[in-house]
Amino acid sequence: MKMDKTKKVNPLVLERFRYSSEQLIEKPFNWKQMGRLIEYLKPYSKNLLLKSIITVLITTIVRLIIPIMIGVYALEKAIEENRDFSMLMWLVFAIAVLYLISYVANIYRIKWSNELGQNVVYDLRKHIFTHVQNLSHNFFDQRSAGSILVRIMNDTNSLQDLFTNGVINIFMDILMLFGVIIILFTLSPQLMLAVLIILPLMFLISTKLRRNIRRSWQFMRLKQSKLNSHLNESIQGIRVTQSFTQEKENMAFFNGVNEENYEAWRNASKKSAYFRPLIELTNAIGSAVLIWYGAHLIQTDSLSFGKFVAFAFYLGMFWEPISRIGQLYNQLLMAMSSSERIFEYLDERPIVDEKQEAIELHDIEGRIEFKDVEFSYDDKRQALKGISLEMKPGQTIALVGHTGSGKSTIANLISRFYDPTAGAVLVDGHDLRDVSLSSLRHQISVVLQDTFIFSGTIMENIRFGRPTATNEEVIAAATAIGANKFIEKLPMGYDTEVEERGNILSVGERQLLSFARALLADPRIIILDEATASIDTETEVQIQKALKLLLEGRTSIIIAHRLSTIREADKIFVLEQGNIIEEGNHDELMLHKGEYYRLIEAQFKVMRAI
């Protein structure tokens, strides 16, 4: 197959894409971590785990007994020594029954151990998701959604094999290995020592070569995740790619990543191809030693033929657990890195913590105060530098200022997504650090510029504001806001399915939807990041009307971009580099002819120019 080479891609193009694919590396064995993982087995210790271990014991014991019955009893005692055919028939019958028992036990072993693995991974995934969902905003500021996704899905998946096969098989293998060694030495110590010659070779293959192969597959998976990330980003950003006519560059990069993936796959499969033949070769050497030396021992009457047959059976059973224990060891090292990453998330604590006896806020008035509030996201740059302000119940407050001046930060502190580094934020006189988070957030609705639309129907998306609302209440809220007009025109009305990013809805429609959502929640405080995108005049009028209704009687904090909204605000705070530099209503501030005056003048100039 002829393929484009990565070299052809312009290096600048390659630089454009950086994917932080997490390395699937191995970590040294760690008992503490293993202990934490084993905790997840505890709920199943009396049921699935116990049942799996019992089936493992049954299959192992049966497998250990059968060769003795064939070699020592059937061949040696019944045929060679006594020529007793009725004894032989009984033995054949007993062996058949034992095989049947082992067959049934094996079916249940596979069924129960699979169920065990699935259950443990289900619990683990649920645990991480619940935990991550309650973490504070700073956690999400520092990580991409993709990397969080990888931990919840891939890292838990990579533990699944350990819990499904590893844990159960280790019982079987250790038991089998000890049983087989004892039996082999009892049957013929000389023959046992002779065949042990191939043990080092076997060991080498099952650890070193296997590890090498597995690393190649890991590398391939890493390339595959890079390919996935690129595909994902390409599709998400397709509009930007097309509008900047970057399809060719994008394609070139894709070819590069695709080829890397192909090469990694070729390398891994080439190495894998050596594995089985090598194992077979080692087995063949073992068999040659067994037959050559075994025959010698039989000739010299040091070993009976029956025992020789039993020995051959057991020898087959000797390599199997050794090879599997080597594999499990590798699997454990892999699990160490996955579990380390999982536990790193699970050990993360929310920085905004709730006090044990947190006050429940009910029916608040909606008075908000900032007392000498300082705040920094990263302990390096101050986002707010000693802010003091008061918002009275029912007032509409506009926050204006240049980009990066701290407007969204003020909004974030009111919802207590972060705690101030100094000073205090109070709602109805309560320091937010003393109140329960859920009772506070029940009183607040945040309407963001870019409304997030969840996959589901329009009805479900509005109901997100208050999950207990009836269909009638949802429709009433949408009607009050004026969103019903566009909803009713949709093919299935309120039952129309919308996708994650709400692509079938226009910017204005999405805003109306988010207003309806907020109205349904009926909060005392509204935080609104006004959309900057310009929309047609008719929708604009509609939105202004909806906004008036939404803000009425509530304390409203608007990160305002539209002159009309700013004008109607009861109070305006002008921010600059984390400080409030002016406050008052529109007329007062215009008279003052300060920064606010200049901001408004600048906006007028832009509007006139348009």
Cα separation, 174 vs 185, whole angstroms: 17
Taking the C-alpha atoms of 536, 540, 546 and 551 in order, what is their torsion angle to the nearest 10 degrees? 140
* Residue with token string 């119940």: 393
Nearer to ligand ATP, 138 or 506 (CB): 138
Among 158, 409, 511, 539, binds ligand ATP (CB under 6 A): 409
Nearer to ligand ATP, 81 or 141 (CB): 141
Q: What is the DSSP string of 2-29?
A: ----GGGS-HHHHHH----PPP------
The binding track of 99-138 with respect to ligand ATP, each residue x by CB under 6 A or -, is: ----------------------------------------
Q: Does residue 499 bind ligand ATP (CB under 6 A)?
A: no
Nearer to ligand ATP, 141 or 434 (CB): 141
Beta carbon of residue 412, minimum distance to ligand ATP (angstroms, whole number): 7
Q: Does residue 407 bind ligand ATP (CB under 6 A)?
A: yes
Cα separation, 338 vs 583, whole angstroms: 53
| Nearest residue to 227 (alpha-carbon basis) of 178, 202, 264, 277 | 264
The binding track of 138-167 with respect to ligand ATP, each residue x by CB under 6 A or -, is: ---x--------------------------
Nearer to ligand ATP, 270 or 598 (CB): 598
Nearer to ligand ATP, 403 or 468 (CB): 403
Which residues between 319 and 378 bind ligand ATP (CB under 6 A)?
A: 377-378
Q: With both helix axes pointing from N to C terminus, report the angle between 247-299 and 210-236 in degrees, rounded to the nearest 10.
A: 160
Q: Does residue 379 bind ligand ATP (CB under 6 A)?
A: no
Nearer to ligand ATP, 529 or 568 (CB): 529
Beta carbon of residue 558, minimum distance to ligand ATP (angstroms, whole number): 12
Cα separation, 425 vs 525, whole angstroms: 14
Indicate the residue type of 530. E
* Residue with token string 């006896």: 357
Q: Does residue 39 bind ligand ATP (CB under 6 A)?
A: no
Beta carbon of residue 141, minimum distance to ligand ATP (angstroms, whole number): 4
**For ligand ATP, how many residues bind (rule: CB under 6 A)?**
13
Beta carbon of residue 557, minimum distance to ligand ATP (angstroms, whole number): 12
Cα separation, 173 vs 327, whole angstroms: 11
Indicate the residue type of 450. D
Nearer to ligand ATP, 142 or 471 (CB): 142
Nearer to ligand ATP, 297 or 383 (CB): 383
Among 133, 300, 403, 468, binds ligand ATP (CB under 6 A): 403
Cα separation, 253 vs 251, whole angstroms: 5
Q: Does residue 386 bind ligand ATP (CB under 6 A)?
A: no
Which residues between 203 and 262 bind ligand ATP (CB under 6 A)?
A: none
Q: Does residue 383 bind ligand ATP (CB under 6 A)?
A: yes
Q: Which structure tokens are listed for 473? A: 């209440």
Nearer to ligand ATP, 90 or 377 (CB): 377
* Residue with token string 């067959």: 103
Q: Does residue 404 bind ligand ATP (CB under 6 A)?
A: yes
Cα separation, 258 vs 244, whole angstroms: 23
Beta carbon of residue 233, minimum distance to ligand ATP (angstroms, whole number): 21
Cα separation, 27 vs 61, whole angstroms: 35
Residues constituting the chain: 610
Q: Does residue 423 bind ligand ATP (CB under 6 A)?
A: no
Beta carbon of residue 598, minimum distance to ligand ATP (angstroms, whole number): 17
Cα separation, 543 vs 549, whole angstroms: 10
Nearer to ligand ATP, 27 or 385 (CB): 385
Q: Stretches 11-19, 96-104, 364-372, 401-409: which one binds ligand ATP (CB under 6 A)?
A: 401-409
* Residue with token string 């900047």: 244
Q: Stretches 149-157, 269-277, 407-415, 566-574: which one binds ligand ATP (CB under 6 A)?
A: 407-415
Nearer to ligand ATP, 95 or 447 (CB): 447
Beta carbon of residue 135, minimum distance to ligand ATP (angstroms, whole number): 14
Q: What is the DSSP string of 446-498?
A: EE-SS----SEEHHHHHHTT-TT--HHHHHHHHHHHTTHHHHHHSTTGGG-EE
Cα separation, 455 vs 328, whole angstroms: 41
Beta carbon of residue 150, minimum distance to ligand ATP (angstroms, whole number): 21
Output b/e per residue, 43-81; b: 16+ Cβ within 10 A: ebeeebbebbbebbebbbbbbbbbbbbbbbbbbbbbbee
Cα separation, 582 vs 201, whole angstroms: 81
Cα separation, 389 vs 125, whole angstroms: 43
Q: Stretches 256-264, 297-305, 400-408, 483-491: which one binds ligand ATP (CB under 6 A)?
A: 400-408
Q: Does residue 406 bind ligand ATP (CB under 6 A)?
A: yes
Q: Does residue 394 bind ligand ATP (CB under 6 A)?
A: no
Nearer to ligand ATP, 406 or 523 (CB): 406
Q: Stretches 55-63, 68-76, 218-226, 398-406: which one binds ligand ATP (CB under 6 A)?
A: 398-406
Nearer to ligand ATP, 330 or 408 (CB): 408
Q: Does residue 401 bind ligand ATP (CB under 6 A)?
A: yes
Taking the C-alpha atoms of 286, 289, 293 and 298 in order, what is their torsion angle to the nearest 10 degrees? 50
**Bridge partners, residue 426, by sequence:** 369, 431
Q: Which structure tokens are listed for 370? A: 């900032």
* Residue with token string 């009805």: 459
Nearer to ligand ATP, 157 or 532 (CB): 532
Which residues between 58 and 77 bind ligand ATP (CB under 6 A)?
A: none
**CB-count burial class (<10 Å; 0-12, 13-18, 19+) for 20:** exposed
Beta carbon of residue 531, minimum distance to ligand ATP (angstroms, whole number): 12
| Nearest residue to 413 (alpha-carbon basis) of 383, 393, 439, 438 | 383
Task: Please tell me whether residue 585 adopts helix, strand or coil conformation.
Answer: coil
Interface with ligand ATP (CB under 6 A): 141, 377-378, 381, 383, 401, 403-409
